[in-house]
Amino acid sequence: MSGVRIIYTLFGSEEAARSACGTLLEEGLIACANRLSPATSQFRWQGELREEREWPVILKTDDARAPGAANRLAELHDYDVPPILLLPVDTVFPPFERWVAEQLRR
């Protein structure tokens, strides 16, 4: 198991995603963020089937910062129930793992 952790989430707008990612980077809680193209999500919300446009985001951090990053992400999120998944990473290309560690030491 590596020391790198992935946090996956979805936002309701591109601006909300950009703002949250910028804050997490500025606060040193993540090494980088990948804001992806909008996706169409289908789900049930408050008993109603919904289909919405959402903006997926993949955040890279380490084991030590992952819980704090997830909690801060929840505070910044534009959803009442933020979809935040903390995912372990089994194997990481060693130069990338070092880069993540360097970014988080800043």
CA-based torsion, 36, 41, 47, 48: positive or negative = positive
pLDDT given for residue 75 in this prediction:
98
DSSP-based three-state secondary structure for 5: strand
What distance separates the 2 farthest-apart alpha carbons in the chain?
47
pLDDT band at 94 (very low <50, low <70, confident <90, very high): very high
pLDDT digits (tens, 9 = 90+) for 33-71: 999 999 999 999 999 999 999 999 999 999 999 999 999
pLDDT given for residue 2 in this prediction:
78
What average pLDDT does the structure give for the chain? Answer: 96
Q: How far apart are CA 73 and CA 81, in angstroms?
A: 11
